[in-house]
Amino acid sequence: MGQAPIQLGRNGCESCAIRNRAVCGALDDAELRELGRIGRFRHYKAGDVILADQEPTTFFANVVSGVIKLEKMSSDGRQQIVGLLFPPDFLGRAYSRTNPYFAQAATDVEICAYPHSQFEQLLRKNPELEHRLFEDTLSELDAAREWMFVLGRKSAQEKVASFLHLIAKRQPMIGCSHIHQPGPARFELPLTRSDIADFLGLTIETVSRQLSKLKRQGTIQIVGGREVTVPDLRELGLTAGGENEAVA
Partner DNA sequence: CGACATGTTGAACCTCATCAACCGACGTGG
Partner DNA sequence: CCACGTCGGTTGATGAGGTTCAACATGTCG
In the complex, which residues of this chain contact a copy of itself (CB under 8 A)? 54, 70, 72-76, 78-80, 82-83, 93-96, 100-101, 127, 130-131, 133-135, 137-138, 140-142, 144-149, 151-153, 200-201, 241-244, 246
Of 32 and 211, the one with the shorter C-beta distance to DNA is 211
Residues 210 and 156 sit within 8 Å (Cβ to Cβ) = yes
Residues 108 and 76 sit within 8 Å (Cβ to Cβ) = no
Among residues 186, 195, 222, which one has the least CA distance to residue 107?
195
Task: Determine the length of the chain.
Answer: 248
CB of 124 to a copy of itself, least distance (A): 8
Note if the bond before 88 is cis, omega within 30 degrees. yes
CB of 46 to DNA, least distance (A): 8
**Which stretches of 74-210 are assigned E, i.e. beta strand?**
79-85, 90-91, 102-105, 109-115, 185-188
CB of 174 to a copy of itself, least distance (A): 29
Interaction partner, residue 212 (a copy of itself, DNA, none; CB < 5-8 Å by kind): DNA
Instruction: Give, as ranges, the residues between 144 and 163 that touch DNA (CB under 7 A).
Output: 155-157
Of 10 and 124, the one with the shorter C-beta distance to a copy of itself is 124
Determine, following the binding rule CB under 7 A, whether residue 225 of this chain makes contact with DNA. Answer: yes
Interaction partner, residue 65 (a copy of itself, DNA, none; CB < 5-8 Å by kind): none
Which segment (95-103, 117-125, 161-169, 189-197) binds DNA by CB under 7 A? 189-197
What is the distance in angstroms between the CA of the first residue and the CA of the last residue of the chain? 37
- DSSP conformation letters of 40-88: EEEEE-TT-EEE-TTSBP-EEEEEEES-EEEEEE-TTS-EEEEEEE-TT
User: Rule CB under 7 A: which residues touch DNA?
Assistant: 155-157, 192-194, 201-209, 211-212, 222, 225-226
